[in-house]
Amino acid sequence: MSHHHPYAPPPPGMSTAMSSKPLNIGGYSSYPPPHQGAPPPPPQAQPPPQAPAGPPMFNDLNDVARCRLSEDDRRKDPAFNFYQPGEPSKRLYVKNISRLTTEHDLRSLFRLFAEDGMNRYSLKYFTVGKMRYQCFVEYETMEAAFSALVHSNGVMVHDKPICVSFGKSR
């Protein structure tokens, strides 16, 4: 078998990538076989790709304060038109979350209110389904939940201000 130099023209009968003819190898062309049978099922809704967890978006309460809309700007934003904080509880409901937001971003914010890190909290972020781009955060104390609501409501996370209210207790 002779070696073919990559820059030399191909020998007669050999196709190249630039050729408009399909490459024929052993009786099979490079074109995919025609589809037979039932059509493939429609693709299922997939969660948006999660960016790799990098440095936290929020390192301290100063970062949170810098990213928070003023009360006047919150009043003008349609996401806050009918805003009510709700009945105080240990559980927060978060909506108006940007599709760019990852769970890592939300955790970097809400961990700051878990009382010096000694108070555990849980966070459930939905990226598909009816609750898509909404989140529940639950703290061990009402004080932690209240502090989180007061400081995080109206914080810009990526391109949207999050809307935080008390959630119904489970």
CA distances from 146 to 8, 83, 94, 110, 150 (A): 75, 16, 13, 12, 6
Distance, CA of 164 to CA of 93 (rounded, Å): 6
DSSP secondary structure, 26-54, as one string: TTEESSPPPP-SSPPPPPPP-PPPPPP--
Confidence at 157, pLDDT banded by 50, 70, 90: very high
Q: What is the pLDDT of residue 19?
A: 46
Model confidence over 73-99: pLDDT tens digits? 999 999 999 999 999 999 999 999 999
Strand 91-95 and strand 134-139: the pairing is antiparallel
Model confidence over 20-71: pLDDT tens digits? 455 454 555 455 555 556 666 555 555 555 555 567 788 899 999 999 999 9
72 phi, psi to nearest 5 deg: -65, -45
CA distances from 136 to 22, 140, 143, 167 (A): 55, 13, 16, 8
Instruction: Show the domains of the chain with their CATH numbers.
Output: 61-166 (3.30.70.330)
- Which amino acid, one-letter code, is at 2? S
Distance, CA of 165 to CA of 69 (rounded, Å): 16
Q: What is the pLDDT of residue 55?
A: 74
Distance, CA of 77 to CA of 82 (rounded, Å): 10
